[in-house]
Amino acid sequence: ETGVTQSPTHLIKTRGQQVTLRCSSQSGHNTVSWYQQALGQGPQFIFQYYREEENGRGNFPPRFSGLQFPNYSSELNVNALELDDSALYLCASSFQGSTGELFFGEGSRLTVL
């Protein structure tokens, strides 16, 4: 069984730039959720994708957007980067209809300078 994989693992950007993070879901899972984890904090829900559509969103501005592809992989895009966007971005996959069993990838560490 293939687990959740994310890329890149680390990246550095400057304020105002744009970034795209990628996620491949675990085999058999059709739903992808993205979380932001600031240093020393618990993960915070950004949004979820199911059937290639956004299926729930947390308290994040529209410059955070995403995509899901037919193979259930997903992208997180962040435009107009701000210093506070520096965080670990986690992708989690699950099967729609299951309650809560999320399996996380290792994350993408974004540093905004």
Partner 1 sequence: GENVEQHPSTLSVQEGDSAVIKCTYSDSASNYFPWYKQELGKGPQLIIDIRSNVGEKKDQRIAVTLNKTAKHFSLHITETQPEDSAVYFCAAWEGGKLIFGQGTELSVKP
Smallest distance from the beta carbon of 30 to partner 1, in angstroms?
A: 14
Looking at the Cβ atoms of 16 and 34, the one nearer to partner 1 is 34
Smallest distance, partner 1 to C-beta of residue 16, A: 28
Residues in contact with partner 1 by the rule CB under 8 A: 4, 6, 33, 35, 40-45, 48, 55-56, 58, 90, 99-107
Pairing of strands 74-78, 64-68: antiparallel
- CA 74, CA 6: separation in Å to the nearest integer? 10
Q: For partner 1, which is the closer residue by CB, 16 or 28?
A: 28
Burial of 104 (0-12, 13-18, 19+ CB in 10 A): middle
Q: Specify the residue, 16 or 103, whose C-beta has the smaller distance to partner 1.
A: 103
| Burial grade of 18 (CB within 10 A; 0-12, 13-18, 19 or more) | exposed
Q: Please, what is the minimum distance in Å from the beta carbon of residue 91 to partner 1?
A: 8
